[in-house]
C-alpha cells in the first residue's frame, strides 16, 4: 500500500482523493496546510488521519511514502524537491514546474534520491489515450495533429471586474498556456516527441499572463496545430490526421470518445468503454503500479515527455513575452 501525503487543499486535491480511493494499492494518509484550521477542516471533510502545518514534519514522518503536489504552479519545484530530498516519491500536478530549468533540477533530484517522480497529466494515462496510441498505425503516415482546448475560466468574470485571482497571476506561473495549453502540448510530446521548431501567438492580459494562444509545432514530415484559451469556449474536437484516415478525439483533456474515420468512408469506434468518470484514478494507478514494479519513471508520462512539453512551453513563452518571476531564480 502506497500512503500519500497531499500538498494543497483545493478542488483538484479533493478530486485526487476521491480518485485515489478507487485505485488499487493507494491510501490517502496525510495532508499539509499552512494553517491548522484549514488542515483540520480539509482532513475532517475527507477522512484523512494525519494533518500537518509543517511541511518538514510531514516529510520526516513515517506515515507517508509518497506526496501528491498540487500547490500553485510556482511552488511545484520547491515542494517536489523537498519531498524527494526526504526520500518521498512524487506525483506532481501539471505543469510540473515553471520552466525547463526547474524541471531538470527535479528530475536530477529524483535520480539522486532513487525515488519515482511523475507529472500528473491525467489524459495521457487514460484508457482512451492508450486506444489512440494502439491504433495510430491504422491511419498511415501522420501528417497533422490538431488539438483544441478552450475553456472560459470561471475566474475571468472577476478579472474583468478588476479582481485578479490566482488563475491570472504571473507570480504563480499561471495563464492559459500553462493551465490549459499543456493539455494540448503534452499529448504531442508523448506521441511525437520534441518538435524541431515552435511558432507561438497569444493574446496577453494586463495582469501579465496570456488569455489565449496558439502554437504550431514542426516535426519535419508532420506538424501539430494547437489552440487553447481561458477566455473563450470551443466545442471543436481534436484530430490526428494520417494519409489513410483520421482519429477524431472528442476532448483532448479527457478523451471519452475516439473514432477513426478512414479515407474510404468507413468509421471505426475505438473508444475504450471501460474508462471511468473519476479519470484521475488512472494517474494514481500508474504511479502505484510503477512502484510495485520497482520502476522510478513512467514510460508514458516519462521524464523525456515532460521535459519536451516544458521546453515547448518555454519557447512559446519566449516568443509571446510571457515571463514569470520563477524564470529569474
Residues 6+ apart with CB under 8 A from 322: 170, 175, 177, 202, 204, 208, 209, 210, 316
Query: What pLDDT is recorded for position 169?
Result: 95
pLDDT in tens, 292-313: 999 999 999 999 999 999 999 9
Residue whose grid cell is 513563452: 317
> In which residue ranges of the chain is pLDDT below 50?
none
Q: Tell me 202's DSSP state.
A: E
pTM: 0.96
3-state secondary structure (DSSP) of residue 294: coil
Beta strands in the chain, from DSSP E residues, in sequence order: 2-7, 26-32, 50-52, 66-69, 89-93, 117-120, 142-150, 197-204, 210-218, 223-229, 238-242, 245-249, 258-262, 267-269
Query: What pLDDT is recorded for position 44?
Result: 96
Q: How far apart are CA 99 and CA 107, in angstroms?
A: 13
C-alpha cell recorded at residue 291:
512502484
C-alpha cell recorded at residue 123:
489524459
Question: Which backbone phi and psi does 68 adopt, to 5 degrees?
Answer: -95, 115
Q: How far apart are CA 105 and CA 12, in angstroms?
A: 25
pLDDT in tens, 80-113: 999 999 999 999 999 999 999 999 999 999 999 9
Query: What pLDDT is recorded for position 301?
Result: 98
Question: Which backbone phi and psi does 90 adopt, to 5 degrees?
Answer: -130, 125
Amino acid at each position: 500500500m502506497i500512503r500519500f501525503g497531499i500538498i494543497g487543499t483545493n478542488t483538484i486535491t479533493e478530486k485526487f482523493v476521491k480518485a485515489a480511493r478507487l485505485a488499487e494499492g493507494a491510501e490517502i494518509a496525510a495532508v499539509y496546510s499552512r494553517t491548522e484550521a484549514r488542515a483540520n477542516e480539509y482532513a475532517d471533510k475527507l477522512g484523512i488521519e494525519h494533518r500537518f502545518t509543517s511541511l518538514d514534519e510531514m516529510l520526516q514522518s513515517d506515515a507517508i511514502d509518497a506526496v501528491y503536489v498540487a500547490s500553485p504552479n510556482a511552488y511545484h519545484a520547491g515542494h517536489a524537491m523537498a519531498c524527494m530530498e526526504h526520500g518521498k516519491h512524487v506525483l506532481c500536478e501539471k505543469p510540473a514546474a515553471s520552466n525547463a530549468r526547474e524541471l531538470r533540477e527535479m528530475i536530477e533530484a529524483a535520480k539522486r534520491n532513487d525515488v519515482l517522480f511523475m507529472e500528473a497529466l491525467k489524459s495521457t494515462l487514460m484508457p482512451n489515450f492508450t486506444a489512440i496510441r494502439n491504433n495510430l498505425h491504422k491511419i498511415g503516415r501522420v501528417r497533422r495533429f490538431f488539438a483544441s482546448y478552450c475553456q472560459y475560466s470561471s475566474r475571468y468574470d472577476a478579472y474583468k471586474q478588476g479582481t485578479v485571482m490566482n488563475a491570472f497571476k504571473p507570480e504563480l506561473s499561471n495563464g492559459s498556456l500553462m493551465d490549459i495549453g499543456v493539455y494540448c502540448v503534452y499529448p504531442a510530446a508523448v506521441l511525437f516527441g520534441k518538435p524541431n521548431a515552435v511558432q507561438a501567438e497569444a493574446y496577453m492580459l494586463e495582469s501579465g499572463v496570456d488569455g489565449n494562444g496558439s502554437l504550431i509545432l514542426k516535426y519535419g514530415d508532420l506538424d501539430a496545430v494547437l489552440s487553447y484559451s481561458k477566455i473563450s469556449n470551443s466545442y471543436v474536437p481534436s484530430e490526428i490526421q494520417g494519409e489513410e484516415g483520421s482519429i477524431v478525439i472528442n476532448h483532448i483533456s479527457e478523451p471519452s470518445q475516439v473514432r477513426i474515420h478512414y479515407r474510404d468512408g468507413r468509421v471505426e469506434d475505438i473508444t475504450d468503454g471501460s474508462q471511468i468518470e473519476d479519470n484521475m484514478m488512472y494517474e494514481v494507478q500508474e504511479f502505484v503500479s510503477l512502484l510495485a514494479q520497482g520502476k522510478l519513471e513512467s514510460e508514458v508520462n516519462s521524464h523525456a515527455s515532460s521535459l519536451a512539453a516544458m521546453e515547448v512551453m518555454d519557447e512559446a513563452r519566449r516568443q509571446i513575452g510571457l515571463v514569470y518571476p520563477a524564470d529569474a531564480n
